[in-house]
Amino acid sequence: MRIGCIGTGTIGSMLIEALSSKLPESPDFVACNRSRDKIAALVRRVPGVVAVATAAEVAQRAQTLFICVKSTDLEPVIEQIRPFLSPDHILLITASTFSVEHLEHRLPARVGKLIPSVAQLAGGGVILTQYGPRMGADARTTVDRLLSAIGTPIPVTDDQIRLFADLTSCGPAFIAGLLQAFARAAEHTGPIASAKAEHLLRLTWIATGRLFEQGFTPADLRRRVSVPGGVTEAGLAVLDPGAETLFRNVLTATKKHHLSRREGVSARPRDRSTGTDTPDT
């Protein structure tokens, strides 16, 4: 199997590295990046990646294409590859703010939107998917099977995608922020440096993640740790209402940010090819 990748920044290189290490038979990758240093580094790290100079060349040499550029760079890429696209091409685009239907309407190719997560570096986590009407059952199954090697593909609708991405794609950063805050609070409270506290939390969470793998739910964890009248219960009594308010505020902020960007660019002409009307989230 040959897979193309246009844009080998954070997400493009992560997808290639994850797929090449997790698939039983590593595919051939043909990839390009605007600046040469990133693609050169990727070729050194991952055997089987062939670097080419342009997006057009990627589209000529592969039919399944990951397009991992920012929304603002998507339209130039589409224009570069458009003359080489056929109905056999499948474009899997990681920018969140374009219309799958609109793009399928304007191109002969089949189009899907993917929202990956840094968790795919560990071969897991969720990959949100949204496929255009032209992606038939066979194509969806093929793509889902490919993605399943590095995560769990979950289909989402237009009205779900923002919130779901907060949980699965932004989620690792939000939880990392909580761990850092926990460590700073520990330093503030007693005889421990925040770096040491962060180290203890990391060790604890590496193993706790394995408990989730074994089937533990958050409720199971709480039952195991918190006994009636104990110190954990006292802490949770503070955490529960505070954390819910905190996350409501976080989700309100991401939604507001998303909407304000939509309004901020609504005066600009909507991009003809991609239907893009907002920058990246």
Residues forming contacts to ligand NAP in the complex (CB under 6 A) are 6-12, 32-35, 38, 55, 68-71, 73, 76-77, 94-96, 115-116, 118, 169, 280
Considering the complex, state which of residue 31 and residue 197 has its C-beta at the smaller distance from ligand NAP: 31
Least Å from the CB of residue 151 to ligand NAP: 12
Least Å from the CB of residue 201 to ligand NAP: 22
Least Å from the CB of residue 241 to ligand NAP: 30
Least Å from the CB of residue 165 to ligand NAP: 7
β-pairing, 126-131 with 49-51? unpaired
Considering the complex, state which of residue 19 and residue 197 has its C-beta at the smaller distance from ligand NAP: 19
Considering the complex, state which of residue 11 and residue 146 has its C-beta at the smaller distance from ligand NAP: 11
Considering the complex, state which of residue 63 and residue 120 has its C-beta at the smaller distance from ligand NAP: 120
- Do the beta carbons of residue 91 and residue 67 sit within 8 Å? yes
- Do the beta carbons of residue 71 and residue 83 sit within 8 Å? no
Considering the complex, state which of residue 22 and residue 34 has its C-beta at the smaller distance from ligand NAP: 34
Task: Give the separation between CA 187 and CA 180, rounded to whole angstroms.
Answer: 11
Q: What is the residue whose two structure tokens read 């255009």?
A: 132
Q: What are the residues facing 121 on neighbouring strands?
A: none
Q: What does the buried/exposed string (b/e) look like for 172-207 if buried means 16 or more CB atoms within 10 Å of the residue's CB?
A: eeeeeeeeeeebeebeeeeeeebeebbeebeeeeee
Considering the complex, state which of residue 192 and residue 251 has its C-beta at the smaller distance from ligand NAP: 251
Least Å from the CB of residue 45 to ligand NAP: 15
- The C-alpha angle with vertex 120 and arms to 80 and 111, in degrees rounded to 5, equals 35
Least Å from the CB of residue 198 to ligand NAP: 21
Least Å from the CB of residue 43 to ligand NAP: 14
Alpha helices per DSSP H over the chain: 10-22, 36-45, 55-61, 71-81, 100-106, 137-148, 161-168, 171-189, 194-213, 218-225, 231-265
User: Residue 164 burial by CB count (10 A; 0-12/13-18/19+): exposed, middle or buried?
Assistant: middle
- Do the beta carbons of residue 104 and residue 127 sit within 8 Å? no
Measured from the Cβ of residue 46, the count of other Cβ atoms closer than 10 Å reads 18
Q: What 3-state DSSP class applies to 66? A: strand
**Residue whose CB is nearest to ligand NAP in the complex, by number:** 9
Considering the complex, state which of residue 27 and residue 172 has its C-beta at the smaller distance from ligand NAP: 172
